[in-house]
Chains A and B, each alone.
Chain A
Amino acid sequence: MKLGNIDKEIIRLTQAGLPLTNKPYLNIAQRLGITESQVLDRVNAMKNSRVIRRIAAVPNHYKIGYVANGMSVWNIPDDKIMDYGKQIGQLSFVSHCYQRPRHPGIWEYNLFAMIHARNRDEVYELAKEIAELLGDDNHGYEILFSKRILKKTGLRI
């Protein structure tokens, strides 16, 4: 789907947060000089074409008690990654599950799964669950904890 300027403007305005007014889409429409139904139509079209993955009230993991998160990285046979990726992505404690390229010799991991838990020990335990699920197809894994956030800004378009 080709994104027009109006779509980009709608995304920019809704990314920052849907206005907390009775008619939030009307509010966005007025700022863009279009009608409310045009905004709703465009958002709907972007949802159908999967540009917008979901519309959500996004909780702050830290504030709701998931204070520990570990980026687990896995070395899984390439021919089985699709199947395992789907299974791991479905686990309740995994938020992002992505396949990324290996860099032979320096980086053998091809699957990234972000694990959220209440503390680090729990992250290690949950990673073991993934290891069990993989059995012999687990060719090694590591968990990378974040030490510091050096920069974090929203999406720019």
Chain B
Amino acid sequence: MSLVDQLPLDAIDKSIINAYQDGFPLVSQPYKSIADELSITEDEVIWRLKKLKKNKILSRIGAIITPNTIGVSTLCAVAVPAERLEEIAGTINSYNEVNHNYQRSHRFNLWFVLTAKNEDHLKKILALISQEIGMQIMNLPLQTAYYLNLGFNIE
């Protein structure tokens, strides 16, 4: 039995999830338009989406923004000694400009994303963090995005 089978999802839930990971209708009544596709009522679509959000099957419903169109961002990596990991992670997280920070299994063990309103601000914050933690930060800005895969299929 796969993990998905243990979820309280029926065929209609699955078709909503599979069909609307892209192309959510951009009309006055989007849930009505989904309802018509699935031959159910608008209220049922809203009820199902609320349920899927509530049990966290859907993380959200909304616009996905292309990176670097609103402000600028970059991926940063630091190779932190194990004994300073908590302290340095805390310092990095204290910056509002940091919106993701992951510990990863690698010599470069901290990976965070910096977002700022412009390139200058980004550079300034990067230098500030580097100075505060006393370590070099590897700056890995996105150069080209190759995405065509728009969603995950559940069976």
Contacts and interface: CB of A to CB of B under 8 A. Distances in A.
8 tightest A-B contacts by CB?
A89-B146, A65-B3, A85-B146, A151-B101, A55-B24, A150-B101, A99-B144, A148-B103
Nearest to A150: B101
Nearest to B14: A64
B26 A47 contact: yes
Interface of B: 2-4, 7, 16-17, 20-24, 26-32, 42, 46, 49-50, 52-53, 55-66, 69-71, 75, 77, 89, 92-93, 96, 98-106, 108-112, 115, 138-154
A139 B64 CA distance: 33
Contacts of A64: 3-4, 7, 17, 57, 152, 154
Contacts of B109: 147
B40 to A, nearest CB: 15
Nearest to B102: A146
Interface residues of A, number: 78
A15 B65 contact: yes
Contacts of B23: 54-56
Given A64-B57, A112-B75, A156-B115, 13 more contacts: A18-B62, A25-B28, A53-B64, A58-B60, A58-B64, A82-B144, A94-B149, A101-B143, A144-B104, A147-B102, A149-B103, A150-B102, A151-B93
Contacts of B52: 57
A25 B66 CA distance: 21
Contacts of B89: 150
B115 A155 contact: yes
A80 interface: no
A131 interface: no
9 contacts: A24-B30, A43-B63, A53-B66, A54-B23, A54-B64, A57-B24, A59-B152, A90-B148, A150-B102
